[in-house]
Chains A and B, each alone.
Chain A
Amino acid sequence: MAELEVRGEEYEAQHVHSVYEEIASHFSSTRYKPWPIVEHFLKGLPDGAVGADVGCGNGKYLAVNSKVFIVGSDRSTNLVQIAKSHEPHTAIVADNLSLPHPLHSFDFAISIAVVHHLSTPARRVEAVKAILDLLLRPKSNDQPQSGGRALIYVWALEQKDSRRGWDEGHEQDVMVPWVLKGGEKVKKEKGKKRRKDDVPKPNEEERVVPVQEEKTFLRYYHLYKRGELEHDIEEAGGLVVESGYEKDNWWATAVLRGKE
Chain B
Amino acid sequence: MKLLTLNFLTCAIKTCKSSPASFPLHPRDAELEVVEADLNLAFLKNILPRLMWDELRVIASELGLPALPETPPSKADLSIPSPTAPAPATTLQLDPEAIDAPENPPVVESDVEEETPSQTAVDLHRILLETCITEGKLVCGNCGHEYAVKEGVANFLLPGHLV
> Hey, which bits of chain A sit against chain B, CB under 8 A?
9, 46-50, 52, 67-69, 71, 73, 75, 77, 80-81, 84, 87-88, 90-95, 97-103, 105-106
Flag if B43 contacts A100 (CB, 8 Å). Answer: no
Flag if B147 contacts A102 (CB, 8 Å). Answer: no
Closest B residue by C-beta to A98: B12
B23 partner residues in chain A, CB cutoff 8 A: 102
18 pairs, A vs B, C-beta closer than 8 Å: A50-B47, A77-B155, A84-B153, A87-B37, A90-B4, A92-B153, A93-B156, A94-B155, A95-B158, A97-B163, A98-B12, A98-B156, A98-B158, A100-B25, A101-B10, A102-B8, A102-B17, A106-B8
In the complex, whether B73 has a CB less than 8 A from a CB of chain A is: no
B9 partner residues in chain A, CB cutoff 8 A: 71, 92, 100-102
Flag if A91 contacts B153 (CB, 8 Å). Answer: yes
> Hey, which bits of chain B sit against chain A, CB under 8 A?
1-2, 4-5, 8-14, 17, 23, 25, 37, 40, 42-47, 50, 129, 147, 151-158, 163
Flag if A93 contacts B155 (CB, 8 Å). Answer: yes
A90 touching B5 in the complex, CB below 8 Å, given contacts A95-B12, A100-B11:
yes
Flag if A88 contacts B17 (CB, 8 Å). Answer: no
Q: Max chain A CB contacts within 10 Å: which of B8, B9, B12? A: B8
B42 partner residues in chain A, CB cutoff 8 A: 47-48, 67
A87 partner residues in chain B, CB cutoff 8 A: 37
Flag if B45 contacts A95 (CB, 8 Å). Answer: no
CA distance A45 to B41 in the complex (A): 16
